[in-house]
Copies of this chain bind each other. A is one copy, B any other.
Amino acid sequence: MSGPPTAGTRPDEVRRHNRTALLRRLHVGGPCTRAELAAELGLNRSTIKALVDGLAEAGVVVEQVSVKRTGAGRPSLLVLPQPRSLWVLAVDVGVEQTTVAAVGFGGEVLGTRGWTLPRGSGSPDDLLAKIGAAGRRLAERIGSEPVGVGVSVPGVVRRDGYVHEAPNLHWEGVPVGERLSAALNRPVLVGNDAELGALAEHTRGIATEAADMVFVSVDVGVGGGVISERAALRGSGGYVGELGHMVVRPGGRPCYCGCQGCWETEIGEDALCRALGLPEGSPREAVVGELRSLAGEEPQVALTRMREFTDWLGLGLINVVNLLGPQLVVLGDLLAALPDAVVDEAAETVRERSLVSRAVGGIRIVASPLGKEAKIIGAAELAFQQALSG
C-alpha cells in the first residue's frame, strides 16, 4: 500500500468487521458449525458465539443439529443462513432480455420475472418503470423489502449508478441508480455487465480460487471485468476498464467509440456472425445455435471456419494477459459457447507468445460455466457486498 497513510483502526470498528466477515462466510460458503467459523475467521469461540447469538435473535440465521454425527460426543450445531431474512433484488438489463430476480442470503433464488424486448426498442424510462414494478411484485410475494438492489447494464457505468453510455441499448447519460432507488426506495448499485460477470465467477463460479482473474464476455459488444488480489479493479470515477475498446488492428473497422480496429469490432457479436456466415445482427439464438453445431464438428472444421476470429481473440488475450497478469481468464456469455478447439487454440497462442504467461508459468483460459447467468448472479453479489457490510 502506498500513498497517504490510512486512518487508524478504532476498536469499535472491529465488531462490525467481524460480523461482516461472518455473514460473508455464511453467504458464500454455506452452513457450517461455530467451530468451523472460529477456525476459518481466526476468531475465538466466545466472539463467534456473541455474533451468532445476535444474528439468530435477528432471524438471519438459525442453529440446527447436524444430520451427520461424527463420533460419540455432543452433536455440533450447524449455523444456517435464512434466505428470506435478508434478500436482494438483482437485475440484468440485457440487449434483448431483462431479468429481475429476488436472491436470498446464502444465494437461493426466491423468485424471478423477465421479459424480452426487440433490440433498441423502448426508452430507459419505460424499462426502469417495468423493473420497478417487477421488483415491487417480488417484494409483495416474499412479504418483506429487499436489503439492496444490484443492476447489471452493458455499458460504461459510474460507481454511483450513472450510465454514461450503453451503446447497444442506445442509452446515453441515464441515472439508473438514482431512478431505481427512487422507484424502489432502496439503495441501488449499478455495475457494468462484464464487471459483474467477473464478480459472479469469482464468488460462485470457476474463479473462486483465483486471486487475479479477468472475465471477457461478448453480449453484443465486448466487455471485461478484472479481479485483482480478490477485489474488483476499477478506474477513476469508478469506471471499469473497457477491454473491448483496446485497439488491436490499427486502421481496421471503424468502431462507434471513435477508434478503428477495436477488439470489439474483431471479436464482438458482428464479428462472430461474420465468422459463422450469418448476417450481422442475427438473433442471439441463431448465433448460439451455430456455435453449438460447430462445436460438434471436428476441431479442424471449427478452426478453419473461425481462423480469423481465433487469431484476433488470441491477440487480444495476449494483450490482456501481458497488461494484467491474471492466473485465469474466463470467457463469458456468447464466448462461453465457442467450440473448445477455438478456445484451446487461443489459449495456446497466449501460452506461446505472452511474456507474462511464460513468466507466471501458464495462464488458464477457460469458457464460463455460468454462461449468461453470470450477470444476474453478479448483480445479486454486488448488492450483497454492500448489504452484508452494514
Q: Show the binding face of A for B, using Cβ within 8 Å.
A: 1-11, 13-14, 17-18, 20-22, 24-25, 28-29, 40-43, 47, 156, 158, 164-165, 199, 202-203, 208, 210-212, 224, 227-237, 239-243, 245-250, 257-259, 315, 318-320, 322-327, 352-356, 358-361, 363, 381, 385
Contact = CB atoms under 8 A, between A and B. Distances in A.
Contacts of A381: 2
9 contacts: A3-B28, A3-B208, A4-B28, A4-B208, A8-B18, A11-B14, A228-B234, A237-B359, A247-B319
Nearest to A260: B353
B1 A21 contact: no
A356 to B, nearest CB: 5
Q: Is the interface of A mostly helix, strand, loop or mixed?
A: mixed
A319 to B, nearest CB: 5
Given A318-B247, A319-B247, A353-B258, A236 B360 contact: yes
A17 B28 contact: no
Contacts of A8: 14, 17-18, 21-22, 41-43, 47
Contacts of A325: 234-237, 239-242
Given A3-B202, A322-B245, A359-B165, A236 B327 contact: yes
Contacts of A241: 322-325, 356
Contacts of A227: 2-3
